[in-house]
Amino acid sequence: MLTDHTFKILVTGPFAAGKTSLIQSISQSPVVTTEVATSGDEADVKALTTVAMDFGTFALEGADEGEETINLLMFGTPGQDRFRFMTDILKADVDVVTFVVSAEAPESFEEAAEMLVLVMTGLEAPIVIAVNRCDSHDRAREVAAAIGADEAIQVIPCQLVDPASGREVIAEVLVALLQSSEYELMSQGVQQ
Task: Note the pLDDT tens digit of each residue in 137-166.
Answer: 999 999 999 999 999 999 999 999 999 999
In a domain, 170, yes or no: yes
User: Which whole number is the average pLDDT over 57-85?
Assistant: 80
Residue 14: burial class (beta carbons within 10 Å; 0-12, 13-18, 19+): buried
Domain extent, residue 142, equals 4-187
In a domain, 152, yes or no: yes
In a domain, 55, yes or no: yes
Domain count, the chain: 1
Which region among 72-76, 92-96, 121-125, 177-181 has the lowest average model confidence (pLDDT)? 177-181
Q: Which one, of 169, 186, 148, 191, lies nearest residue 9 by Cα?
A: 169
In a domain, 192, yes or no: no
User: Which whole number is the average pLDDT over 63-70?
Assistant: 73
In terms of pLDDT, which residue wins out, 25 or 84? 25
Average pLDDT over the chain, rounded to an integer: 83
CATH number where 103 lies: 3.40.50.300
Longest alpha-carbon distance in the chain: 56
Residue 149 and residue 99: Cα distance in Å, rounded? 10
pLDDT band at 53 (very low <50, low <70, confident <90, very high): confident
Residue 177 and residue 95: Cα distance in Å, rounded? 7
In a domain, 120, yes or no: yes
In a domain, 115, yes or no: yes
Residues 25, 83, 21: CA angle, nearest 5 degrees = 10
User: Which whole number is the average pLDDT over 68-80?
Assistant: 86
pLDDT value at position 190?
A: 42
In a domain, 12, yes or no: yes
